[in-house]
Structure 1
Amino acid sequence: MSESGHSQPGMYGPGRRRRRRREREIGPTGQNLSGPGRERDYMPRERECWEGTEESAGPMLQKTPIILAKPPAERPKSSQTAVPTNAPMEKPIVLIKSREEGKPAPPTDGAIPTTGITVKAEKEGQRPTQPVYQIQNRGMAATAPSSNVDPVIGQAKLLPPEKMKHSIKLVDDQMTWCDSAMEYLLDQTDMLVVGIIGLQGTGKSTIMSLLSANAPEEDQRCYVFRPQSQEIKERGGNQSIGIDFFITQERVIFLDTQPILSPSILDHLINNDRKLPPEYSLPHTYVEMQSLQMAAFLYTVCHVVIVVQDWFTDLSLYRFLQTAEMLKPSTPSTSHDSSGSAGPDEGTEYYPHIVFLQNRAKREDFCPRNLKKMHTVVDKLMMHSHLKYKGSLSMLDCKVFPGLSRGYLETEVNLFLLPGMDSDGDDSLIRAGSATSPLFALLPGYRGHPTFTSLIGKLRSQILSMPRSQLSHTILTEKNWFHYAARIWDGVKKSSALSEYSRLLS
């Protein structure tokens, strides 16, 4: 049968299977592996290490910890493994920050690491929570929601305040409050508010531009407060209407106003037949009340009020200042009275610092004798005023008069002299000996005072260094000041004292 090619009996039958089972039991060398106590000799090494770990816990721990360098949602799909949600977790999960270059690997022998590692034992049936270190992961920088968010602290960075390029309206030509300035204000209390008033054509807008953001050598068409153009000067008009607002990067708020008692505004009302408000019957009464409202408003919301005049002096201007002080609304109490009429006692009333600026001063005005007379006149005119017109500004501190001491001016007021802007480039001044000697012709002409650029810089430094008194009974931020000023303007327009004064004028 075998010779004819057929298989022999037992080659693939039951006998063959019995011989294979026998070899598995006795082993290839004939040793008996099926007896008692022999299973451990043939056990795989991995199982032996695992059982040895269970028998002797401690430093012999060889189980590989689960290391999560990224949260599960950010891991690649190929590296993610299915983990049953109800699988019991007998050992703690070690969450380790991604290893940095040049640093040793964190320990895994049971010691608690000091930095970059979070060890947390989870209860049975719970999934591991998101580790705290994830905000420090380098891989999250590409998935940051915005460039303004710091990946280390997870907070938005402080952005610089928006820089203004030109002034905007705070009060328009209809004497209506505007809210466009709110977007430029911050929630901080370190601010200074400077306002200015003056007659028509005295240079208010030019001075405010030079104090805030511009230099004398710049083109006047680029000033933040637009000055009068040549066409407006020729027809005797006014450039500023209402109240203009500008805030610098140093958080100084400048308020430029339309001219007080302006003849051009009165002429515009009469010639254009503009309808007056019902409480005013005459155009000149309406113009005067507008001026008083703006002056009373500046007295309440400004730290410094600059009064500009281009010749010394107009007695009607001081009478106007005292009238506005009389009609000034009381400082609102903490009860937030919208009318602004209810306030504390007179002793706690707020009054700003007032500065008298003599613009386009002549050479003889800088004479020490004339300067002393001017201080005496202003002091006598303002002696009954509650406005702070003394002790806030001094020309003697600017070293304009090097030979004069502080005791020379017995009654020094906040008076500052400013020459004309065109005096810096005027070469037609008298030069000593210029007609006879060519040597003196090379020297600059004697002006009798410092240059306009030098004096405007000294004025700016003194204005910005003035005391910043508290405007109300509570400390105001920039945004709170804006709402406070809106309440004051509304209270000024509805003031019973101003209405009664208007009735007396009619």
Structure 2
Amino acid sequence: MAGNGGGNNSSNSNPPSSSSPASHHHNHQAPKILLAKPALVTAAKYNRGPSGTGADDSPASIRSRVSSVGFLNLLSESWDLHTDRFLPFLTDNTDFTVIGVIGPPGVGKSTIMNEIYGFDPSSSGMLPPFSIESLETKAMAKHCTVGIEPRITSERIILLDSQPVFSPSVLAEMIRPDGLSTVSIFGGGEPLPAEMAHELMSIQLGVLLSSICHIILVVSEGVHDNNMWRLMATVDLLKHNIPDPSSLSLSHPQSSNLGSDKDIKDKIQEVGEEYMATPVFVHTKLHEQDMAPHYIVQVNKALNQYFRSSSFNKQKQPNASKENTLVSESTDSDSDPAPLKSFFIPSKSNADYPGTQYESFHSSLWKLRDQVLSMSGPSFSRTVSERDWLKNTGKIWELVKNSSTISDYCRTLQNSGLFRR
């Protein structure tokens, strides 16, 4: 499992099943594990009528009454990071893993994260940690996840589900009547055209997750949509001078001003190369013909060729399982780095056909979960606790929003004429 290089586990952060003697002594101090949307818990407790019972306590009614105030999002719909909301759920433990996900709407990001969490959908009365698309939200063309929603498992795996990229519903909510964006993408300045701001939000989200996660799941629908490949290539291009959450440049509290890009670059060079999370490319909703082994080999060849010169492909990925037939084994040279991780998830409807010869939807999800949790992702440059990881994540977000590299890219888009002014 990916870690941050630290071996000094805090005793009060071990799960109840830990065999450490110290953990049994301090286990009562561990914070409550974040299981489901706090909005639902809050609503059930406080949104009652005068008689103490609500007129309508269905989950849909509860969610509609408190959705504007009940979220415990790490990144809000106003594009601001709220570390104070999530901090009470973290500890001084240094042995933890951060897994993020990014992708367009409706590809199953939240379903995958629920699987990695270990949620059992057959358990009656249990809400999933991450909301999944319902018939109502699908009919109304809405998205379930806003900003970044975090959850933690008892094994101290921090899961970050993010709002969809390339999402018409996100664009519709942020566009003003004059075509400008209601969301401030950069630290200051005039509002941008909504379509441009929407594209830059996807890039900023990718840069942030690549900076603060050990593993980032890049999810696409089918094998013919390479929009996520292009997005991650852009993220790799623009992710400059962004350190990892353990960087010394973020750990000194004496100054709230992180300095210029040059100052930050100099500080990053003191601790080595720029950090980049390990990507796992997941293709979902595949038809049976897309699951053929020879077809998967061709997609993997294209994937590794596409990112051949990127930062994603420069890092060695240890412990690549030879049993995982979903990972390409084709490399042209012994000096090439390990192939990028890729997984292929069939459509749920495939299970309805008795003649299907490939893995089922649920079996593929189980394999994805097992493989991701057994991965050895990159370590942060220094040992950092969960709490310090979160505090420094807030500082990294400020660097992302004030990045001169992304700002220059924005000006290039403005001058290209692709977006209306």
- Using structure 1 for the length normalisation, give the TM-score: 0.60
Identify which of 395, 401, 412 aligns with 1:493.
401
Task: Give the secondary-structure state (helix, strand or coil) at the position aligned to 2:379.
Answer: coil
CA distance in 1, matches of 2:286, 2:125: 20
Letter aligned with residue 448 of structure 1: Q
**Residue matched to 1:249:** 154
Please tell me whether the aligned partners of residues 182 and 191 of structure 2 are also in contact (alpha carbons under 8 angstroms): no
What's the CA shift for 1:164?
1.6
Please tell me whether the aligned partners of residues 198 and 308 of structure 1 are also in contact (alpha carbons under 8 angstroms): yes
Q: Name stretches of at least 5 consecutive residues in structure 2 with no aligned partner.
A: 1-21, 38-71, 251-256, 333-338, 415-421
Letter aligned with residue 173 of structure 2: H
What's the CA shift for 1:162?
1.4
Identify which of 161, 164, 169 aligns with 2:34.
164
What's the CA shift for 1:390?
7.2
Q: Name stretches of at least 5 consecutive residues in structure 1 with no aligned partner.
A: 1-152, 430-444
Cα separation, partners in 2 of 1:385 and 1:192, compared to 1, 3 Å: same
Identify which of 209, 213, 223 aligns with 1:298.
209
The answer to whether residue 184 in structure 2 is matched with residue 279 in structure 1 is no
- Aligned-residue identity in percent: 27
Identify which of 293, 315, 319 aligns with 1:368.
293
For CA contacts below 8 A with separation 6 or more, give which structure has more relative contact order.
2
Question: 5 Å matches for 1:23-102?
Answer: none
CA distance in 2, matches of 1:352, 1:251: 18
The answer to whether residue 218 in structure 2 is matched with residue 307 in structure 1 is yes
Please tell me whether the aligned partners of residues 339 and 491 of structure 1 are also in contact (alpha carbons under 8 angstroms): no
CA distance in 2, matches of 1:268, 1:281: 15
Cα separation, partners in 2 of 1:220 and 1:456, compared to 1, 3 Å: farther
CA distance in 1, matches of 2:155, 2:177: 42
Please tell me whether the aligned partners of residues 210 and 216 of structure 1 are also in contact (alpha carbons under 8 angstroms): no
Which of these two proteins has the greater Rg computed from alpha carbons? 1
**Residue matched to 2:363:** 454
Cα separation, partners in 2 of 1:423 and 1:216, compared to 1, 3 Å: farther
Task: Give the secondary-structure state (helix, strand or coil) at the position aligned to 1:476.
Answer: coil
More helix by share: 2
Letter aligned with residue 206 of structure 2: A
What's the CA shift for 1:198?
0.5
What's the CA shift for 1:314?
2.7
**Residue matched to 1:322:** 233
Task: Give the secondary-structure state (helix, strand or coil) at the position aligned to 1:169.
Answer: coil
Please tell me whether the aligned partners of residues 395 and 416 of structure 1 are also in contact (alpha carbons under 8 angstroms): no
- What is the number of equivalent residue pairs in this alignment? 329
RMSD of equivalent CA atoms? 2.9
The answer to whether residue 91 in structure 2 is matched with residue 186 in structure 1 is yes
Identify which of 343, 347, 355 aligns with 1:420.
347
The answer to whether residue 230 in structure 2 is matched with residue 331 in structure 1 is no
Q: 1:443-476: per-residue Cα shift (whole Å, max 9, x none)? A: xx231212222222221111111114322x3211
Cα separation, partners in 2 of 1:498 and 1:454, compared to 1, 3 Å: same
Task: Give the secondary-structure state (helix, strand or coil) at the position aligned to 1:194.
Answer: strand
